[in-house]
Copies of this chain bind each other. A is one copy, B any other.
């Protein structure tokens, strides 16, 4: 049984193949702790919130249970039509967890949720609680804003996870009947329609991969072709908001709502590799490269504008009004992963690394039960009064709670992103203590990454033929060495990949040493908003300063980076096991302090939520 969040078929145009989910175990260290918190605290917290905030109950109402639909966006009476998707994302996360090991409580909660979903589905296969309960029962009346296809996409993703991880096809049956309902209405002989929020496209490709039904792939391809021709209209924010301003294979740059653009391009890559459509893949890569060059924050966050949760102009990257939705960062990981599989280019793994540490993980508290929707790179000492859901602290849940279960499903499937295989061997992309089995190769990776730069790969089992162990040397790394078995001295290796090829033997040990000096980073000269500032990085981590580390009575806005002195790495056991902080040289604090503690940005707002900044005036 093949598993994975993305599993290109054997004939796909794909450079790399994922390692089976069940064949990678994160055994220790940074991500093991993150996965443990996710499993033990975040996912159970999510189930409770899905119960009390409405989404599960809304599905119960679809099955005929009496009650009030809970989906108020605000007191003006707007209603969110997309809350079913939160149930599905949570179910996907549970699917990965139950694939990793049994858990009676989680299984019982999932059984309850699956039962609710099954009961909610209409006999004709249609399933959407908002339309069934609130919006009159007629499907597909408001594709622009209704999120019906979008919700189905998440149902399919959950179904695929349950199928792949432990062969439980209860959700798959529901998802197929619902997908068939869409296919009858919008398939080749049906109406032309695309959803205002992309997402179904990638799910349909996965459904085709799991079921072998090519018509799902065809439907996904049809939806991609139909977008960009004005089917959705101008909307409140113009057609670029939902990427309907230009055909998917023509649009030169990312545009509009960031999550929508990323999800759309995920579907485009999936369709491209399955159909061998080089042109479509090239279009997505072109957009990605432009995105990386012009519209990604130093954190890997993306989508700067609050008004429409959208990409701004090139280099419009304000730190204070950075929207940088947690979901957008997650979606960028999903897209970079697909592009990595398709092309094998290590830059995509670099992007995944930057985003997971600095744009995804900041969205969750150390406790695992509070979440950021918006991830600013600067928070001032004095601030404007803000509205609900946009206050400074991480929240236990949101009226629009897309981010929390998105975090859950990404973390619960994180081992996916660690390694891939191809006909030449194994590629390790993300460094974490893990055991990896890929065909007849067994590896054991040990590291204290991201705090320490040493990565040790033990060959546990090797076939009797030469193969290549590919190790990513991150783009941020200016100095790295590789020590091969029996070597008397290490080899310098440059950014990209180190790819030693030989007849490996069990017991061989390969050591990759990545130098992790503190780096002082200048912004791109076109980024107007942080001109004259510097940021601190170490390894894959972006650092920030918080006002809680200043003497009372001083304000973070007054500190200035002292260019005459160097920052220094320092142990920070108070922030967690092995955590490395940075002491930065400053001036400007009246009390005479000349240094200040910086901490990894992902860890901010866990002690108190006051002023914070990543970019420091120099």
Contacts and interface: CB of A to CB of B under 8 A. Distances in A.
Contacts of A255: 384-385
Interface stretch (A88-96, A233-241, A436-444): A233-241
A310 B557 CA distance: 22
Contact of A312 (B74, B234, B384): B384
Interface centre among A319, A525, A528 (most CB of B within 10 A): A528
Contact of A76 (B235, B305, B378): B235
A373 to B, nearest CB: 13
Contacts of A557: 315, 526
A238 B386 contact: yes
B316 A233 contact: no
A313 B532 contact: no
A311 interface: yes
Contacts of A256: 385
Given A238-B385, A240-B386, A306-B306, A380 B314 contact: yes
Contact of A305 (B75, B240, B313, B321): B321
B387 A236 contact: yes
Interface in A372-393: 378, 380, 382-388, 390
Given A384-B311, A384-B316, A236 B76 contact: yes
A316 B306 contact: no
A318 B321 contact: yes
Interface in A290-311: 294, 305-308, 310-311
A145 interface: yes
A531 interface: yes
A617 interface: yes
A475 to B, nearest CB: 25
A472 interface: no
A411 B590 CA distance: 49
Helix, strand, loop or mixed for chain A's interface? Answer: loop
Interface residues of A, number: 55
Interface in A313-353: 313-316, 318-321
A121 B492 CA distance: 85
Interface in A232-275: 233-241, 245, 255-256
Nearest to A386: B238
A550 interface: no
A529 interface: yes
Interface string A378-419: 101011111110100000000000000000000000000000
Given A238-B390, A305-B321, A528 B378 contact: yes
A580 interface: no
A109 interface: no
A27 interface: no
Interface in A526-560: 526, 528-533, 557
A305 B382 CA distance: 16
A144 interface: yes
A266 B341 CA distance: 61
B144 A238 contact: no
Nearest to A294: B382
A494 to B, nearest CB: 31
B235 A387 contact: yes
A356 to B, nearest CB: 26
B387 A74 contact: no
Contacts of A316: 320-321, 380, 384
A354 B238 CA distance: 34
A237 B384 CA distance: 12
Contacts of A380: 313-316
A221 to B, nearest CB: 24
A252 to B, nearest CB: 11
A387 B238 contact: yes
A321 B320 contact: no
Nearest to A310: B384
Contact of A320 (B306, B313, B525, B530): B313
8 contacts: A76-B236, A235-B387, A256-B385, A314-B382, A528-B529, A528-B617, A531-B533, A531-B617
Q: Which 4 A-B pairs have the closest CB atoms?
A: A238-B387, A240-B385, A532-B532, A237-B387
